[in-house]
Structure 1
Amino acid sequence: MSNSSLITHLRHVDVAMPNFAEQRTFYTELWGLTETASDSGVSFLAAEGSPEQYVVRLREDTQKRTDLLAFGAATAADVDTLATRLVTQGVRLVHEPKVLDTPGGGYAVRFFDNEGRVVEVSADVTPRKHRRIEARESIPVRLSHVLMNSPTPEATVAWYIKHLGFRLSDTMCVGGRGEIMWFLRCNTFHHSFGIVRGPHAAFHHASFEMRGVDEFMRGTGRMKRQGIERLWGPGRHRAGDNSFSYFLDRAGNTVEYTTELEVIDEDTWHPHVFDLKDPANADQWGTADEMNEFIAAKSHNDIDPALFVAPPM
């Protein structure tokens, strides 16, 4: 049974780490997010151009972990429908649909995916008053997409397609070594979510959309001048046709500035397989260094210690 109409968009990604204060400073003073709410050891961070109450939640913990991935649904009835379908399909819930006490409120169900990540789907969250990002203003407009590492990527991609109705947009491969990256969509953006073949389940990267190429380059330059470790970029991918500059945050998570992510026509789109043996498939511009094992290993990240363990909030 298809759930394709129930997931509308990506809302936020929630992460935990021991060095909370350092992370909070990175995202507010350097990366360009705005803290809209906070409590002891918790910070809710919004993108100025987005109606989402927050796009990143930071939480202090003794362990570095991904707390959850949050997606939107159109109505509370859709959340209930999805919850019923998940239970029928044998998916383990973290909690039944209920009213949220996070900024903006709402109504949500939480559940574990096949590898133990926590996923939340919510509706009726009060939109945040946001604003137009001005020319040359190099701060994120919105959270664009999140990718996760998986040691069983084919099964994980199939799980998200079966249970949440995601659609496959494109796949990356490396010659005869097979497929390594899958881009999944829940609306007309080329991808809001994706899976990367990796040695273990972990956060791969979160990407933030900028106003345009000029703002993207200004943000890239600001990170460089501040001495933030740059992994890869600037360049422009083939799959999704978006620009990219990847950096490491203060907990060693990969974060990306991007812009101009492709918007696709659902009626005519057919998935492609792009081979990274052709360097133009990784970077159409040819401005980024060649992808190598060092860069890939950094984005493999640390093993997530909290699979099938729900976060405390």
Structure 2
Amino acid sequence: MDRKIKLVRIAHVYYTHKDMDRERRFLEDFGFQEVKRSGSKTYYRGTGTEPFVYCASEGDHNEFGGAAFVVESKEDLEYAASSLPHATEVHEMLDEPGGGLRVTFKDPVDGFPFHLVYGQTPTVASDAGLLQRKFNFPTQKFRPGNQFQRFKKGPAPVHKLGHFGMCVTDFAKTYDFYTSRFNFYPSDLVYDESGRDVTTFLHLDRGLELVDHHCFFFFEGPESHVHHSSYETYDFDTQSLGHDWLREKGYENCWGVGRHIMGSQIFDYWFDTSHFILEHYVDGDLVNSEHPTNRSKASPDGLHVWGPDLPPTFLQ
């Protein structure tokens, strides 16, 4: 049996857009920071240490170009190049912020690209001011007297890429591939009326290290496509300010604001100008190897505990 390739974290995603001028405005209004332009590509970072979290390319078709994960070692990257389906050779990331090495392979079931990277140079985090906010609760007051909460209207700053999700055409084959070849492990499995698993939320098994409840999810459907990519921001105030900013700019809300059940995060989904779905989230769960997989039956009520009703467009 092939050994597992050890992943450390999700790093960035790639999208292609037909109208880059409109999309650049959306991405800035969503809370990304432009870091570099190179040819047809524009790179965006968050306020964390990843050199970039989103790469937007201009092209003839609106397309999702896959997500990238950091591998634990150069040996993992070399093993990936020699063992994964339709994998490239290890190659330098010459134009990307942070540099580093990359291998790209094709998902064996639906053929979407998947990237593995190693050796990127981190950038300096720029979120110090956003971490100083204190809150008062009925029995615990964390904000000193005579200090006030004052907010400025604007985008909700993206801190990091948290997860992405795919619709796949064969759940069982896809699940077997990713859980046998990588250290993905299910936080949640969802089954249909027949008892067959059709959705999973996967975290990275890093032993006792706490990691996000999921960094990759997929569900079964008739045609493979990206569902959404998700970006962490700071707190509910920041998220709500971003929601109002996007609404006032005339962008189309997909679903939110609400609270998920699996993962627990407060969510806010938006359509970008190419009609891809991007999510702001806050307050997600953390898990480690002590967390047993939860298995539940698929239900519209199983996706959120409060917030607007689930819109049909979200599942389509």
Ranges of 4+ aligned residues in structure 1 off by more than 6 Å: none
- Matched residue SS, 1:8: strand
What's the TM-score, normalizing by structure 2?
A: 0.84
Gaps of 5+ in 2: 134-150
**How far apart are 1:177 and its partner, in Å?**
8.0
2:169 paired with 1:151: yes
Aligned partners of 1:3 and 1:165 also within 8 Å:
no
Counterparts in 2 of 1:34-73, with a 5 A limit? 34-48=33-47, 50-73=48-71
* 2:274 is the alignment partner of 1:274: no
Deviation of 1:237 (Å): 0.9
CA RMSD in angstroms comes to 2.0
Q: Say if 1:20 and 1:41, in contact at 8 Å, map to a contact too.
A: no
Aligned to 2:122: 127
Task: Count residues with an aligned counterpart.
Answer: 286
Match of 1:22 in 2: 22
Q: Which residue of 2 aligns with 1:190?
A: 213
Deviation at 1:247, TM superposition (A): 0.9
Matches of residues 155-234 of structure 1 in structure 2 within 5 Å? 155-173=173-191, 175=193, 179-186=197-204, 187=206, 188-234=211-257
Q: Give percent identity, aligned residues only.
A: 21
| Post-superposition offset of 1:275 | 3.2
Q: Which residue of 1 aligns with 2:93?
A: 100
Q: Give the equivalent residue in structure 2 for 1:293.
A: 312
TM-score by length of structure 1 reads 0.85
Q: Deviations over 1:33-68 (max 9, x none)?
A: 0110102321001112x2111111000110111223
For 2:198 and 2:243, locate their aligned partners in 1 and report how far apart those are by CA, in whole Å. Answer: 26
Match for residue 79 of structure 1? 77
AA partner of residue 38 (structure 1) = R
Alignment pair present for 1:118 and 2:113: yes
Stretch deviating more after TM superposition (133-142 or 3-12): 133-142
Q: 1:225 to 1:178 in 2, by over 3 A?
A: farther
Deviations 1:73-104 (A, max 9, x none): 12222212333343xxxx221x1112221221
Contact (CA 8 Å) 2:5, 2:181: kept in 1 or not? no
SS in 1 for 2:238: helix
Q: 1:174 deviation in Å?
A: 5.2
**Rg larger for:** 2
